[in-house]
Structure 1
């Protein structure tokens, strides 16, 4: 008999206080202590995405990695993008996808490059013969001392990674998405409660919410759903690579549940929004914030 006793959410996936650590962006799973939980040992699929073909940007680590594993275990073939520095992480995700019996396609490149971003829908079509699920997840953030200290090239990096790439991918994908397709954007609690030190990142996350709300009525007429997931604090390689010296051991402890989420705790939201179980959900922002109001 399966034990269905509920777990206390304050301690269910708590790994304690991570040690002080810093990485260069984009960060890697191997260098993140403790390693994030992507559901490798816990996620059980039930065939809810059988026959689907998904593109996940930034699928090598963190939330994207957890979503890739969950999608594969639910029956979807998965293509994921990664930077050259993330090749080892991407290879590990590929192993998990294939162990689940799904097809995997690794696509290495920089989403800030318009030509690369625009090529992605066709590359998925070439690999799998179809594309019906898109998860726009890749993101870049850095702690800022103030708006007067941010060089244009850094501001440009945030916008091109977090916004331009999503526009390029969606523009090229639209002619190929069938009725029943699902688009999911990873936004953030920062869209509603921006931190001064992440003002440029927060700008892009608020813009993503606006994009979802603006496109939902238009795409709905074609039978395509678009939604966003808005995570709160999540323990991923993005955190040690953000430039928060002295803050890592207490990361996420100010949330109502007293801890950050693990990436595996985000994956079920994406599975729901990608599946037919969410057939009447579009234009929504799904908060996974540990109780912090969105």
Structure 2
């Protein structure tokens, strides 16, 4: 029924939004995203309640690439509430978001370390890992989350420099960060990679982005087989349409495209919130997922149900 509540979240974007060219900022989203509140239902009515940790990641050291905003921020804050110390990378232009994320982690009673880092630059991956290890001494959980996308209607009009840039950040830098981080990980540690529903469904205006996300799924499966004997689990999460700065910051997306984002999707007609995805990362990083490796969890509101 149309009069029944769809969600307790601010599920509908009413205003055009333009952060084209990026990087996008959480601080500029309208409505603001939700990073920490879970949706509960009672008597057919939804309400929100703050995520409460229970020590699933007590004293773990977590490195997140692209952790200043969106899904990365939600993952960092929820893992901090589970007892982890968090280090994350961000671009200089994202300093406003990074400062807020640091505060949210510290408010959870854990240590936060923000690292300015452009993973498109040579040696950036090694420098970030080295800085993290200098700060925390070890890496227990690696979350490969940094990514970019630009839209293009037709491959004939595509810019190969943009394609190369997208592959460089989304998958090549993931290889690089993992290469350097794995040396500081031991039996019982784990990796969680950010894939996408686009890696399974494809997206006709995001050819290069879709391709990199498909590559990440295969990277996850192969790396899980390689590192399994060492006791290091490797999994991924494939989000659908989530209300993060990546949406309005996507070059080629008109501002009007943000209005009603996701409301025509079925069976859950709304964009997801970062917190709704972040819980999957917490699960995969925790003892709850001790027998899970090489897996990809789909959090997309049901728009794609392929395994």
TM-score (norm 1): 0.94
Question: How far off its partner does 1:221 sit?
Answer: 0.3
Per the alignment, in what secondary structure is the counterpart of residue 226 of structure 1?
Answer: strand
User: Which sits farther off after the overlay, 251-260 or 79-88?
Assistant: 251-260
Question: How far off its partner does 1:9 sit?
Answer: 8.9
Per the alignment, in what secondary structure is the counterpart of residue 230 of structure 2?
Answer: coil
Q: Does 1:267 align with 2:278?
A: yes
Question: How far off its partner does 1:252 sit?
Answer: 1.2
**Matched residues in 2 for 1:260 and 1:159: separation?**
26
- Once the two structures are superposed, the pairs formed by residues 244-259 of structure 1 within 5 Å of their partners are 244-245=253-254, 246-253=256-263, 254-259=265-270
**Matched residues in 1 for 2:135 and 2:141: separation?**
14
- Tell me what 2:25 maps to: 28
- Tell me what 2:7 maps to: 11
- Once the two structures are superposed, the pairs formed by residues 94-113 of structure 1 within 5 Å of their partners are 94-113=102-121
Question: How far off its partner does 1:182 sit?
Answer: 0.9
- Once the two structures are superposed, the pairs formed by residues 92-171 of structure 1 within 5 Å of their partners are 92-171=100-179
Q: Does 1:172 align with 2:168?
A: no
**Matched residues in 2 for 1:263 and 1:130: separation?**
27
Give the root-mean-square deviation of aligned CA atoms: 1.4
Per the alignment, in what secondary structure is the counterpart of residue 148 of structure 1?
Answer: helix
Per the alignment, in what secondary structure is the counterpart of residue 89 of structure 2?
Answer: strand
**Matched residues in 2 for 1:130 and 1:171: separation?**
15
Q: Does 1:47 align with 2:55?
A: yes
How many residues align structurally?
287
Q: Is the 8 A contact 2:117 2:128 kept in 1?
A: no
Q: Is the 8 A contact 1:69 1:97 kept in 2?
A: yes
User: Which sits farther off after the overlay, 126-135 or 114-123?
Assistant: 114-123
Q: Is the 8 A contact 1:143 1:244 kept in 2?
A: yes
Q: Is the 8 A contact 2:61 2:139 kept in 1?
A: yes
Runs of 4+ in 1 over 3 A off after TM superposition: none
Q: Does 1:73 align with 2:81?
A: yes
- Which of 24, 32, 37 matches 2:34? 37
Q: Is the 8 A contact 2:78 2:282 kept in 1?
A: yes
Question: How far off its partner does 1:99 sit?
Answer: 1.1
- Tell me what 1:284 maps to: 295
1:218-260, Cα deviation, whole Å (9 max, x unpaired)? 1100000000000011000110111322321121121320001
Q: Which runs of 5+ in 2 are unaligned?
A: 38-48
Specify whether residues 168 and 9 from structure 1 end up closer, same or farther in structure 2 by C-alpha distance, changes over 3 A only. farther
